Amino acid sequence: MAKLPKPSYDDEVSPAFHFLLWRLRLTEATTQTTRAERDALARHAQGRKRLVELGVWHGVTTKRLRAAMAHDAEIWAVDPYPVGRLRVSFQRLIAHTEVKNLENGHVHWIEMTGANAARRWRDTAQPPPDFLFVDGDHTWEGIQADWEGWSDLMEVGGVVALHDSRAYSERPIGDAGSVRFTQQVIRKDPRYHVVEEVDSLTVLRRMQ
């Protein structure tokens, strides 16, 4: 199962051209999350202290999470940001600029996969994260690696939000690996309880 596609402009214009338009303020940073999903993420991130986001793209949701978290909080913004033909990640440049324009807490930019970031978190003896947003590799194998890496690290009472984890009328993605793994594995995990569903977003709380 291939990854779900990133924003549709990438099929029409090059990332470099979009970056130029963004620099000229002729277009905005893009995201596949809906407004309702972003609002839900902000609600559940409110006042949290140790946040992790897997899959940053242009930093749109990172910015919302940073605004919502506690003033002394830290967020790990995790994305491998592979470079293109010009040996530059224009997505990374956009994200760093978008997120740094907001001052609240501290952002750690972690350029690696979600699974490798989980190993770094464990190896550096970080305290348990209390908020995790998973929006990285949407294949079955990708989300499985993220879930197996992070689910055991989460604080009891902490929140995990999964993007593209359920189909709905505007996004019929029932065959996506991220949807199938969420429905067949994550929702059956006895440690976690579903607390909200918004569009393609599933929000769970760790209970044990």
The residues with which 162 forms a beta bridge, in sequence order, are 134, 202
Half-sphere exposure of 49 (CA within 13 A, CB side): 7
CATH number at residue 79: 3.40.50.150
Q: How far is CA 34 from CA 1, 26, 199, in A?
A: 23, 21, 8
3 is a domain residue: no
pLDDT at 106: 98
Q: Total domain count for the chain?
A: 1
Is 163 a residue whose pLDDT tops 90? yes
169 is a domain residue: yes
Collapsed DSSP state (helix, strand, coil) of residue 171 = strand
42 is a domain residue: yes
Do the beta carbons of residue 160 and residue 128 sit within 8 Å?
no
Q: What is the Cα 159 distance to its own chain's centre?
A: 13
116 is a domain residue: yes
Collapsed DSSP state (helix, strand, coil) of residue 115 = helix
2 is a domain residue: no
Looking at residue 146, its amino acid is D
Do the beta carbons of residue 119 and residue 146 sit within 8 Å?
no
23 is a domain residue: yes
pLDDT at 1: 36
1 is a domain residue: no
Supply 11's token pair.
Answer: 């099929």
Supply 182's token pair.
Answer: 């969420």
pTM over 0.85: yes
Q: Which pLDDT tens digit goes with each residue over 103-116?
A: 999 999 999 999 99
Domain limits at 190? Answer: 8-206
